[in-house]
Amino acid sequence: MADAGLPIGKIVGDSRPDYFIVSLDPDRVPPLYDYVYVEVEEVPPGEDEPRRVKVVAQIRWVRRQAVGIGPEHPWQVVRRLSVPSASDTVVAYAKVLGYKWRGRILFPRRAPPVGSWVYLAPDELLEDFFSVAPERRLHLGYLITRPSVRAYLDVEGLKRHVAIIAATGAGKTWASVVLIEELLKKGATVVVLDPHGEYVAMKRTACRLGPEFCDSVVVFKARSDQEGDYQYVISVDELSAEELATVAGVPPKATRIRSVIAGAKGLARAVAQVAGSGWAGLRGIIRAVQYAIDAAEFTKMSGGSSAGLGRFVDELVRRFSQALGREAAERIKRLMDYEEVQRSVRRLWLALRKDTEPGYDALRYLEDLSRLGVYGVKRVPIDSLLQPGRVTVLNLAGLSDEVQDHVVYNVLSRVFGARVNYVRGLQGDSYPYPVVVIVEEAHRFMPPKTARQTRSRSIASTIASEGRKFGVYMVAITQRPSRLDSDVLSQLQGQIILRVVNPRDQDAIRDASEQMSQDLLENLPGLNTGEAVVIGPLAPAPLMVRVRDRVLEYSGKDVSLVEAWGGSRSELRLIEEYRAEALARLRGLLEQDFEDLGEAVSALLGARVDPEVVEAGLRLLARSEVWASYDEYTATVYGEAAGSEVRVALGEGRVACACGARRVCPHAVAVLVKALLDGLVAARRAAEPELGW
């Protein structure tokens, strides 16, 4: 770096209050984005006399041009010319950032005089110029051209909401993790809506921030077979029938299926008041659909559709009475007198009287939804979701777009409602501390109205426009700002922008921000990975930052192709080893010369196993941790594979797996092969050869 006390150039040509052109010493040219200053006379607010102040500016472009030699000269001439060193003219454009006066950054009212000396800004001047009060600091990184000068965000700038924008691979998730680390140090309440499960890894590394942070990250999973500490639950009773059908994936035009779901939901809710919790939630609705199908089929067999609604109702009551017992029978009959229940039963009959196929379709949709685990009876208390000094990551991986959108809508609505209730002293869920909600892949949940409809956009728009009054602050992360609703984006006044290449995305950023000048916008494609422009109330003045090293881990990093493909070859070798060893053990165990492992496993189980299932089971065994045990008296293998508990009764073909499969599944094959490889089944056979399966 050039000596800060000596001038590096002089203002020439154009000079205005917001920029000036400087002719630079060719031997002392500062790098792009570095900072300079010029001394001018200004009358700061509250002062009567002019004061000499240092106006700080940033170099936004630099050009070199030879004197007397231009591109119009032919090569035959140029190659014979001897160009002396430092004979070129170096011109730079310097964007004025302002001057510091009594703790505030002010914009000059006068243009620096042409001919004024321009100096390289020393580190001390920049530290003071970009300083933030210690209690408000969030350490994001360092100035791009000055690695010794720390760059801070102002935590109070979160009140105007934040957008983190970058092309894929430019470091937006890295920047968000750094922001989360700083918020934890401030004791903030943070909720992360994580569509891909990238932030789950933060929990495993939270202790790196210090012993007091070991329990500062909690993971709620929205899907039961994903990674997480707790299951997030949305109460089915609080959903309308249309909401339930939509999140289940029922097409909008499948009106008969939707009628079945609506009728069964109303009926199950009424029965639950009589029969208890066994009829609450999706379990009760599924049972109501099953009873309705049986009653409709019986009614048609006994008299056809002409038998009518009355016989359907009688048969429905009879089936409920058989299931619930005599004591509940009379109460079930009385339920049928209520208008709301009659309406539900009539909808079921009208949907099923021609054929019961819509009922079976409804069962399929509802059972698939039930397996997710997120839709249950009792919703998660707000105090479990929100706690001071803690980051709650909601792992949404593995969910359909419709379900992800609905869960995000549910969380945002509950967080915003809890803060509104607290601030206004209303009844219901409340939370006493401000909340920062980080929405990853925000364009998926808040697209423009003309693109597609989502539930999340309406509540996100409300938070963006009104959240400041109630202490709910949103950080939206996206790689496609052009696909984010413009009304929402315009409300995110604090912006951390990393490399952006797409012209449409650049236009969206410019339209949404008053501080994004054209020259700064044009420099976005030239940013390196991890470098960012910070504008808006987050920073005292526009910052160009290299984001600091993070402490917490995340799983969104690029995959190494060499490692990944090398690992796949190792996996294939491991699978073949498992196949050969398991087949050899089964040949000796069952004393048969089997051709392949699928045939041998089928013989051991007493049930046919598809070859594809065997292959999938071997892959599970190679990729995940599997354990197995064996009960020699009942000839039953127990174990767990990929988070699913399994029980396999040998010789009987009976398999029970937490994944919900009704046939032999890959989890069962993985556990069974693990038991064989560990010698558990073989040891039992040798000990008691007279016992069979």
Task: Note the helical H segments in 471-517.
Answer: 486-491, 503-512
Mean pLDDT value across the chain: 88
215-219, 378-382, 688-692: which range is least confident on average?
Answer: 688-692
**What is the DSSP secondary structure assignment for residue 200, as one 8-state letter?**
G
Q: Where in the chain is the domain with CATH 3.40.50.300?
A: 150-232+381-547
Q: Are 558 and 572 in contact (CB under 8 A)?
A: no
* 689: three-class secondary structure by DSSP: coil
CATH topology of domain 150-232+381-547: Rossmann fold (3.40.50)
Helix or strand run (H / E) with residue 627: strand 626-631
Q: Which of 486, 226, 168 is nearest to 371 (CA)?
A: 226
Q: What pLDDT is stored for residue 255 in this prediction?
A: 93
- CA 407, CA 380: separation in Å to the nearest integer? 12
Checking if the pLDDT of 381 tops 70, the result is yes
Beta bridge pairs of residue 65? 89
**CB under 8 Å to 356, separation ≥6 — which residues?**
293, 296, 297
Q: Give, to the nearest 10 degrees, the angle between helix 561-590 and helix 611-623.
A: 120
**What is the DSSP secondary structure assignment for residue 212, as one 8-state letter?**
G
Tokens of 657: 């797996």
Residue that has been written with the tokens 């419709």 in this structure: 402
Q: Which of 600, 633, 635 is nearest to 618 (CA)?
A: 600
DSSP letter string, 352-417: HSS-SHHHHHHHHHHHHHHHHSSEESSPPPHHHH--TTEEEEEE-TT--HHHHHHHHHHHHHHHHH
**CB under 8 Å to 406, separation ≥6 — which residues?**
234, 243, 246, 247, 455
Question: pLDDT class for 325, splitting at 50, 70, 90?
Answer: confident
Residue type, 585: R
Residue that has been written with the tokens 């002293």 in this structure: 425
Q: What pLDDT is stored for residue 68 in this prediction?
A: 67
What radius of gyration, in Å, describes the C-alpha atoms of the chain?
34
Tokens of 191: 């909720």
Checking if the pLDDT of 107 tops 70, the result is yes
Upper half-sphere CA count for residue 685 (Cβ side, 13 Å): 17
Question: pLDDT class for 47, splitting at 50, 70, 90?
Answer: confident
Residue that has been written with the tokens 């009551």 in this structure: 317
Per-residue exposure over 154-176, b if at least 16 CB sit within 10 Å of its own CB, e if not: bbebbbbbbbbbbbeebbbbbbb
Q: What pLDDT is stored for residue 87 in this prediction?
A: 65
User: What's the average model confidence in pLDDT over 663-689?
Assistant: 76
Checking if the pLDDT of 466 tops 50, the result is yes
Q: What pLDDT is stored for residue 522 in this prediction?
A: 73
Tokens of 627: 């354990």
Q: Which of 552, 555, 534 is nearest to 543 (CA)?
A: 534
44-53, 79-88, 534-543: which range is least confident on average?
Answer: 79-88
**CB under 8 Å to 242, separation ≥6 — which residues?**
258, 262
Residue that has been written with the tokens 């939370």 in this structure: 431
Q: Are 128 and 169 in contact (CB under 8 A)?
A: no
Helix or strand run (H / E) with residue 302: helix 281-303
pTM: 0.78
Q: Are 165 and 505 in contact (CB under 8 A)?
A: yes
* 113: three-class secondary structure by DSSP: coil
Q: What pLDDT is stored for residue 432 in this prediction?
A: 95
Tokens of 319: 């089936």
Q: Are 635 and 654 in contact (CB under 8 A)?
A: no
Q: Are 270 and 340 in contact (CB under 8 A)?
A: yes
Give the CA distances from residue 641 to residues 372, 398, 637, in Å, rounded to whole numbers and listed in that order: 18, 18, 13
- CA 244, CA 223: separation in Å to the nearest integer? 16
Q: Which of 537, 495, 503 is nearest to 522 (CA)?
A: 503
Q: Are 618 and 579 in contact (CB under 8 A)?
A: yes
Each residue's pLDDT tens digit, 540-563: 888 999 999 999 988 765 555 666
Residue that has been written with the tokens 């016989």 in this structure: 311
Q: CA 639, 640, 643: angle at the middle one, nearest 5? A: 165
Q: What pLDDT is stored for residue 684 in this prediction?
A: 44
- CA 345, CA 271: separation in Å to the nearest integer? 12
DSSP letter string, 160-213: G-EEEE--TTSSHHHHHHHHHHHHHHTT-EEEEEETTSTTGGGGGGGGGG-GGG
**CB under 8 Å to 517, separation ≥6 — which residues?**
95
Q: What pLDDT is stored for residue 663 in this prediction?
A: 80
Residue type, 239: L
Each residue's pLDDT tens digit, 330-345: 777 788 888 888 899 9
Q: Write phi, then psi, for 147 (nearest 5 degrees).
A: -60, -15
Each residue's pLDDT tens digit, 173-209: 999 999 999 999 999 999 999 999 999 999 999 999 9
For CA atoms 535, 541, 542, 547, the dihedral sign is: negative
User: What's the average model confidence in pLDDT over 425-436?
Assistant: 94
Q: Are 470 and 512 in contact (CB under 8 A)?
A: no
Q: Give, to the nearest 10 degrees, the angle between helix 666-677 and helix 597-605.
A: 90
Q: Write phi, then psi, for 681 (nearest 5 degrees).
A: -70, -40
Per-residue exposure over 210-240, b if at least 16 CB sit within 10 Å of its own CB, e if not: eeebeebbbbbbbbbbbbbeebbbbebbebe
Q: Which of 164, 166, 130 is nearest to 146 (CA)?
A: 130
- CA 561, CA 622: separation in Å to the nearest integer? 19
- CA 428, CA 611: separation in Å to the nearest integer? 54
Checking if the pLDDT of 11 tops 80, the result is yes
Question: pLDDT class for 27, splitting at 50, 70, 90?
Answer: confident
Checking if the pLDDT of 219 tops 70, the result is yes
- CA 358, CA 488: separation in Å to the nearest integer? 40
Each residue's pLDDT tens digit, 259-316: 999 999 999 888 888 777 778 889 999 999 999 999 899 888 876 555 688 888 888 8
- CA 676, CA 601: separation in Å to the nearest integer? 10
Q: What pLDDT is stored for residue 200 in this prediction?
A: 93
Give the CA distances from residue 354 to residues 288, 294, 422, 428, in Å, rounded to whole numbers and listed in that order: 19, 14, 52, 45
Q: Which of 473, 417, 474 is nearest to 446 (CA)?
A: 474
- CA 278, CA 330: separation in Å to the nearest integer? 18
Q: Are 454 and 405 in contact (CB under 8 A)?
A: yes
Q: Which of 434, 426, 500 is nearest to 467 (CA)?
A: 434
Tokens of 543: 């910052």
